[in-house]
Each structure stands twice: as structure tokens, then as C-alpha cells.
């Protein structure tokens, strides 16, 4: 759940210092010692997880300015913080003009570094949210805006992409809150009607005596209270898409008129003397079993077959739990931007409980839960305390309430030479590799501090042994990304020892 920071600097000491600051704040870290390696990493699949780059200005092979220009060509939205040992006004101006989010001179205090990182990430989230809202307003939402990577969602996207290539009527089915309207908007955004009107009608929320007028329009004086001419939703959507949500709620007499519109491509406004031609792409949605409604006589069979030409079923969230972590990250980012908060993620044990919830209200319920949690959160990570409505579930899972404890030093050793480590702020002592059952020693046998490389190597080796080589669990316990763990294992030769 934590974001990944790529530190690019040819000075290994500076990289280690920046890594310590970032990892203390809960960020995963990747490193590169020159600009070209950074560009290569960002172009790789592994680089898609990187949320921010800290880029040194002066480096061999490819300098910071040149690397920034290249990064902007394929990751325009990625925030880049420039750093250098010597900085002048002209250099700062040039970096900002080329798209840098911030610029500071080394060495900088940890507080200055974290302010820069947090501001850049928050600005990136805000820009992303503004961009999303702009696409929605311009009816240009597309399938890449959908959040999740489950096979179930991939199948829905595949069907939607095919449907977008034609004007075939589409019926989207699924429980309330699964995101049927988002799918419909993506189909419009991927079609040749992109940017054209997208009109939404909730058929279950319209009074029965007004359904016909709202959908098809009416002329002035056509009924009591009709003080002016009203253009119906079909005419509003002319040239674009009409989305009929909860279409199963339509009265039978309105269903007859809707069937005529679909057959003839024209609407008869109430009180009108002549029909009006319309060019509308119709997408319907329902959480009902329309086939069962047809058998009960509450939905016309001929209309059902007209609407159900290209069915798309959106599975409930409980059937695609793989999408929940990505959705949580997305909603945290959105509400960080909207509420001016700085929540960095969710604690792992809390995430496990959230992923295993049935979420009867689906994505809408999950979004509301995260919104409330972001507002309640008092720490850097969402804890069980921030989900009061799920208190019983957390208790049953053995997850104790309370915000995460963030250590003030990184790392901290006491008089016994113990290195304290653990998940997001949870303080624990680690068994020693030197025979002491209570600590991993940071001192050698002569009483001198061991170097950081050896301590890290011993800690990773111990973690691999403790968790039987389960890389995901080891990475989670060490608080680093799996890609970082694999790299460290290779660099320190631990993979050869295991073989």
C-alpha cells in the first residue's frame, strides 16, 4: 500500500541517507546511480509502481536535467524532486520549467526532504483527481480509468471495448454499487461518441406520472402544470449516449413507448403533433433479473430482447477481492486531495481484514468506508480505529484497535546494542544471528559498530529463514517492496546461498 520512491544519485552515501529518511516515513525505495539507469527502470514494468523520483542534478552518463526531459516524455504525471550540492536561481528556474515538482540543495534536513516529498505527492494526487473530473465532465472517461487488475474486471473491460466499437444496445447487470455507470461512461469514452452528451436517468427515482414526460418531453399545455415546452432526455442525449439506470423499474406503459423509440429512432413528446428523430446510443443497467421479471409479467419480453442485445455482467466486489487494495489506494489518494489529508496507506493487518469483507454495498460501500477512515485518521496509516463500523470484524480477526506507533528515530539502538524494527511503527526485537535470543547485534565482537550492509544482509537472511523463503511475507515484514527485496537478495548473494 505504501508508495515507492526512486532515489537517483551517483553518491552512495547520499542514496543511503535519503533511503533512511524515506523508509522511516513508510515509503518503499528503489535506487539508481545515474540518470540512464533511472530512465530504464521507469520504462520497465517494475517502474510502473514508482510514485516519485528524487533526481540528482550532476551525474555521469546522463545528468539530472537530461533525465528529467526524458521522463517527461513518457511519465508526464510523475512528480520529480531535483536535488544538488550546488544550486543557483537559473538552475532552479530551468528545472521547474522542465517539469520538476520541487528543488532543494544537499544536504537537507529530513524534515525538508519529507515536506518536499509529501507536497509533491499531494500535488500529483490533486492533479490526477482534477484530470479525472475533467474527463468525466467532457464525457471522455475510458477503461484505463477503471481501478483493478482482477481477471473478472479484465473480462468486463474486454467486453466493453468490443461493445464500444459499435452502436449495439448494451445491458449492464450487477448488484448495486458495482460501478455500472462507470462502465457505461467508459464505453462512451472509447467509442466514436466520445465528448458527446452522456445523459443519465435513474428510472427508479422518477415519479410514475412523470416518467414519460422526463424521457420523451412534453409540449406547453399538454397537461396540467405544463407551463412550458420540455425537451426530454432522449433529445438531450441526441448524438451521444443515454444511460437508463435501473431500467427494470419502468412502468409497463412507458416500456411500450421506449420500445417504439428503439425500433423507429424517433420520440413522441407528450402533446406533440409530430415525432422527432434522435440519434442515441442506449445503454441500460439493472440489478434485477429481467428474465424473471418477464416471466412475472412486470417487464415486456419484446423490450427485454431489444435491450439485452449485448449483455455485460459486472461481478460483485466479493468475487474480485484482488481489486480491493488498488481501490483502497485510489480512494485514499482521492480523499487526500479533496480533504487536504496526508494518509500514506493502510496497515497490513487492517488491509487483510478489509480484503476479506463481503462488502454487500460493493465499491460504493468501500469508497464510503475509506472516505470516513481518511477523515478520522490521526496517523500516517489507516488503522482499525478508523473503521468503527467494522469493529466486530477486526476484533474477530485479532486486530487490536489503535493508531500505528511511529518511532521518532531511525533506527534506534539502546544500551544493549539491540536493533529495533518491525512493521509500520510496531516496535519489536529481532532474534540475534550471534546466539543471543533477544536481539540482532549492531556491534561486532570487538565492540565496534558493524557496517550497515552487513546488518542489512543478516536481517534479510534471518527473515528469509524465519518465513521459509516466502518473499511476499518477508517483504511485508521488512517493510520493503518485493522488487527491492529480490534486488537486495541478488546483490548480497543470498540467492546463491539458498541454492
Mean pLDDT of the 452-460 span: 84
pLDDT (average), residues 153-179: 94
CATH architecture classification, 4-136: 3-Layer(aba) Sandwich (3.40)
Helices 110-137, 12-24: crossing angle, 10 deg rounding: 70
Distance (Å, rounded) from C-alpha 164 to C-alpha 190?
A: 6
CATH top class, domain 143-315: alpha beta
Domain with CATH 3.40.50.2300 in the chain: 4-136
What grid cell was written down for 271? 402533446
Beta strand 276-277 with 420-421 is: unpaired
pLDDT in tens, 292-351: 999 999 999 999 999 999 999 999 999 999 999 999 988 998 888 788 887 878 888 899
pLDDT computed for residue 12 by the predictor: 87
Per-residue confidence at 408, pLDDT binned at 50, 70, 90?
Answer: very low
For the chain, the average pLDDT equals: 82
Which pTM was predicted? 0.64
- Per-residue model confidence as pLDDT tens digits over 383-403: 999 999 999 999 888 886 543
pLDDT band at 421 (very low <50, low <70, confident <90, very high): very low
Where are the domain boundaries for CATH 1.10.8.60 in the chain?
320-396
pLDDT tens digits for range 15-31 = 888 888 888 777 888 99
Give the pLDDT band of residue 419 (cuts 50, 70, 90): very low
For the segment 274-291, the average pLDDT, to the nearest whole number, is 92
Distances in Å between the alpha carbon of 234 and those of 184, 211, 271? 16, 12, 16
Asked whether the predicted pLDDT for residue 174 surpasses 90, the reply is: yes
DSSP string, 133-176: HHHHHTT---GGGS----HHHHHHHHHHHHHHTS---EEEE--T
Higher pLDDT, 134 or 168: 168
**In degrees, to the nearest 5, what angle opens at C-alpha 8 toward C-alphas 6 and 11?**
135
Report the pLDDT value the prediction gives residue 492, as an integer from 0 to 100. 81
Helices within 217-251 (DSSP H only): 233-236
Q: Are 404 and 381 in contact (CB under 8 A)?
A: yes
In the chain, list all ranges with CATH 3.40.50.300. 143-315
Give the separation between CA 465 and CA 470, rounded to whole angstroms.
Answer: 9
At residue 287, the pLDDT reads: 94
Residue 189 has, within 13 A of its CA and on its CB side, a CA count of 21
- In this predicted model, what pLDDT tens digit does every residue of 220-249 receive, in sequence order? 877 776 777 888 899 999 999 999 999 999
Q: Which CATH number fits domain 320-396: 1.10.8.60, 3.40.50.620, 1.10.357.10, 3.40.390.10?
A: 1.10.8.60
Over pLDDT 90: what percentage of the chain?
38
* 428 has a pLDDT exceeding 70: no
The pLDDT assigned to 275 comes to 86
Task: Give the whole-angstrom CA distance, residue 286 versus residue 298.
Answer: 14
Amino acid at each position: 500500500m505504501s508508495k515507492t520512491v526512486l532515489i537517483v544519485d551517483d553518491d552512495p552515501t547520499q542514496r543511503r541517507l535519503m533511503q533512511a529518511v524515506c523508509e522511516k516515513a513508510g515509503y518503499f525505495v528503489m535506487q539508481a546511480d545515474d540518470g540512464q539507469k533511472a530512465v530504464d527502470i521507469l520504462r520497465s514494468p517494475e517502474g510502473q509502481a514508482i510514485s516519485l523520483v528524487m533526481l540528482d542534478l550532476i551525474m555521469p552518463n546522463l545528468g539530472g536535467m537530461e533525465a528529467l526531459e526524458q521522463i517527461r516524455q513518457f511519465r508526464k504525471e510523475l512528480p520529480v524532486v531535483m536535488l544538488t550540492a550546488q544550486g543557483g536561481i537559473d538552475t532552479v528556474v530551468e528545472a521547474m520549467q522542465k517539469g520538476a515538482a520541487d528543488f532543494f540543495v544537499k544536504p537537507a534536513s529530513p524534515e525538508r526532504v519529507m515536506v518536499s516529498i509529501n507536497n509533491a505527492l499531494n500535488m500529483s494526487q490533486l492533479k490526477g483527481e482534477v484530470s479525472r473530473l475533467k474527463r468525466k465532465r467532457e464525457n471522455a472517461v475510458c477503461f484505463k480509468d477503471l481501478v483493478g487488475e482482477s481477471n473478472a474486471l479484465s473480462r468486463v473491460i474486454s467486453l466493453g471495448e468490443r461493445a464500444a466499437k459499435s452502436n449495439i444496445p448494451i445491458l449492464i447487470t450487477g448488484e448495486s454499487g458495482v460501478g455500472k455507470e462507470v462502465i457505461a461512461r467508459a464505453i462512451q469514452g472509447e467509442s466514436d461518441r466520445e465528448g458527446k452528451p452522456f445523459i443519465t436517468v435513474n428510472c427508479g427515482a422518477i415519479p410514475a406520472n412523470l416518467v414519460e414526460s422526463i424521457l420523451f418531453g412534453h409540449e406547453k399545455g399538454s397537461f396540467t402544470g405544463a407551463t412550458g415546452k420540455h425537451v426530454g432526455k432522449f433529445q438531450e442525449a441526441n448524438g451521444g449516449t443515454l444511460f437508463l439506470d435501473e431500467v427494470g423499474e419502468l412502468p409497463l406503459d412507458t416500456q411500450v413507448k421506449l420500445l417504439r423509440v428503439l425500433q423507429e429512432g424517433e420520440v413522441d413528446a407528450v402533446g406533440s403533433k409530430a415525432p422527432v428523430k434522435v440519434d442515441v446510443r442506449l445503454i441500460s443497467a439493472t440489478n434485477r433479473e429481467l428474465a424473471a421479471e418477464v416471466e412475472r409479467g412486470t417487464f415486456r419480453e419484446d423490450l427485454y430482447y431489444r435491450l439485452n442485445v449485448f449483455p455485460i455482467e459486472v461481478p460483485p466486489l466479493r468475487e474480485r477481492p484482488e481489486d480491493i487494495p488498488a481501490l483502497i489506494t485510489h480512494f485514499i489518494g482521492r480523499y487526500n486531495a479533496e480533504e487536504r489529508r496526508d494518509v500514506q496507506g493502510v496497515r497490513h493487518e487492517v488491509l487483510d481484514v478489509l480484503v476479506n469483507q463481503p462488502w454487500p454495498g460493493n465499491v460504493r460501500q468501500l469508497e464510503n468506508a475509506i472516505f470516513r477512515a481518511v477523515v478520522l485518521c490521526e496517523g500516517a496509516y489507516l488503522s482499525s480505529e478508523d473503521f468503527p463500523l467494522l469493529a466486530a470484524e477486526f476484533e474477530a480477526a485479532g486486530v487490536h484497535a489503535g493508531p500505528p506507533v511511529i518511532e521518532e528515530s531511525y533506527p534506534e539502538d539502546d544500551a544493549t546494542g539491540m536493533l529495533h524494527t518491525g512493521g509500520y511503527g510496531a516496535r519489536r526485537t529481532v532474534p540475534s544471528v550471534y546466539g543471543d535470543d533477544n536481539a540482532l547485534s549492531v556491534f561486532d565482537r570487538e565492540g565496534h559498530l558493524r557496517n550497515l550492509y552487513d546488518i542489512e544482509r543478516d536481517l534479510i537472511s534471518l527473515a528469509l529463514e524465519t518465513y521459509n523463503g516466502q518473499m511476499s511475507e518477508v517483504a511485508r515484514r521488512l517493510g520493503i517492496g518485493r522488487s527491492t527485496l529480490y534486488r537486495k537478495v541478488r546483490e548480497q548473494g543470498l540467492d546463491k546461498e539458498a541454492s
